[in-house]
Structure 1
Amino acid sequence: MGDLLNVILLGIIEGITEFLPISSTGHLLIAEHWLGARSDLFNVGIQAGAILAVTLIYRRRIWQLLTRWRDPASRDYLLKLAVAFLITVVLGFVAVKLGFKLPETVAPVAWALVLGGFWMLAAEQLAARRPERTQVGWGVAVFVGLAQMLAGVFPGTSRSAATIFAAMLAGTTQRAAATEFAFLVGIPTMYAATGYELLKVLKGGGAAHEDWGALGVGFAVSAVVAFAAVKWLLGYIRAHRFTPFALYRIALGAALLLWLPPHI
């Protein structure tokens, strides 16, 4: 019963933090310190639940883009999504081959949380000084692709925070439009990353000893919670800034640096 509760808690944490700009990596790192580390396949599985949730939320927008690709506006938007995705994949592959990735230990994750929080505060102020724009330019596509790659290399950065603010600084200053583009780019990117990690785990024989019941529960909990969290976020940002998330990141990162040993 205790292990089932741990699985549910990890699913809740993943569901809340995967798409909010506060870093799922940092929160799972803390949670696993007290709840016990899980397998790579489990972590991949609960992330897949969160991705499924955001796919369902944007299902109408995705269907609209795919079925109206002959329309110039839809085709242009799809091409920009593709460019951002390809930049992430190509540069991410290069980074992996070069071994350029910080370890998922508390020190780099905590510093990424703190620095990312201050960057969010500054970026929000800069974006607020510009006229509100919903259009997604080619510069936005390029910067969002770069931001996704950097978030993968620097655990704790938060993919959603990096991409949303990259879009806002590059010209899509309206929070809702920037968030939509960032999340739509994130769907194929995270499916690809999850598939890649899943293949690695299966090739390494990790599936043989997996607790599939726990994985199924974690997947379902993550999907349900992520659906609610993203729905709430999309409503929240219509009238509010991201400032509370930035302050929370700074406080959490500082607490990690002060309270937890750096080798964790």
Structure 2
Amino acid sequence: MLEALLLGLIEGLTEFLPISSTGHLLIAEHWLGRRSDLFNIVIQAGAILAVTLVYRHRLVELATGWRDPVARDYSLKLAASFAVTAVLGLVVKKLGYKLPETVTPVALALILGGVAILLIELWAKRQEVAVDVTWKLAIAVGVAQVLAGVFPGTSRSAAAIFAAMLLGLTDRPKAAEFAFLIGIPTMFAASAVETLSLARAGGLADEPWGELLAATLMSALTGFVSVKWLLRYVATHNFNVFAGYRIALGVVLLAFL
């Protein structure tokens, strides 16, 4: 149970930071023992529950604002982004993709992602602050989420945030908001699909549901704290500190594992 709680803690703290929650889970499981894909996906839903609570007023505003052209346009773009993620995600699943069992690809993705963050931040620094969410941006964020799932260590939130920034949404809090809001249906849907898939295969009985529930609750609690902190941080800072952390961690992993 202690190991499950620790994994939930790691998931909650890292899901919304651009440092890859899946990558950190795989690294932790190198020492704590391998968990099922269902476990790794469902505890992410706990963190997404946290962001749902953080953005509850914004979600109500979008859900009840269909008569407002601005709110309707934003909601439709979120829906389009999710649709892209869902379709491409199902294609990846049909192809039989599985999370890697070694740390090396995670370490490489951490380093490459860190370098990419530094380059994007350097580019964004020269741009005017923009808050517009375009259709091209919405599609790109959907694709980026799937790519992050294929390459653990990339970070879903990082991929979504920096895809948004590259496509013109250079206001960091606004880019983070879009990335976090699209993460809500994405991760809940991923959890549901994985659970149903395992149910059809008759594998639910083998899952330690008590540990999974405890880890999910821990993920929700720590995720709430993490996302509140990050939103305050990006209001006045860039993401370079996370790039440095990713590169340092990736180098350490390659050197010692």
TM-score (norm 2): 0.95
Helix, strand or coil for the counterpart of 2:82? Answer: helix
Q: Which residue of 2 aligns with 1:66?
A: 63
- 1:62-141 aligned within 5 A: 62-99=59-96, 103-141=100-138
Query: Which has the larger displacement, 115-124 or 32-41?
Result: 32-41
Query: Which has the larger displacement, 97-106 or 16-25?
Result: 97-106
Of 177, 183, 193, which residue of structure 1 is paired with 2:190?
193
Contact 1:102 1:108 in 2 (8 A): no
Q: Give the length in aligned residue pairs.
A: 257
Between the aligned partners of 1:258 and 1:163, the Cα distance in structure 2 is: 29
Contact 1:95 1:101 in 2 (8 A): no
Provide the identity percentage.
62
Between the aligned partners of 2:97 and 2:221, the Cα distance in structure 1 is: 34
Contact 1:44 1:198 in 2 (8 A): no
> Could you say what the CA RMSD is over the residues aligned between the two structures, in angstroms?
1.5
Of 240, 249, 254, which residue of structure 2 is paired with 1:252?
249
- Residues 1:145 and 2:142 aligned together: yes
Unaligned 5+ residue runs, structure 2?
A: none
Contact 2:109 2:152 in 1 (8 A): yes
Contact 2:165 2:171 in 1 (8 A): yes
Helix, strand or coil for the counterpart of 1:32? Answer: helix
Contact 2:38 2:191 in 1 (8 A): no
Contact 2:10 2:24 in 1 (8 A): yes
Contact 2:22 2:40 in 1 (8 A): no
TM-score (norm 1): 0.92
Unaligned 5+ residue runs, structure 1?
A: none
Q: CA deviation at 1:101?
A: 6.5
Q: Which residue of 2 aligns with 1:54?
A: 51
Residue 76 of structure 1 aligns to which amino acid in structure 2?
Answer: D
Of 225, 238, 249, which residue of structure 1 is paired with 2:222?
225
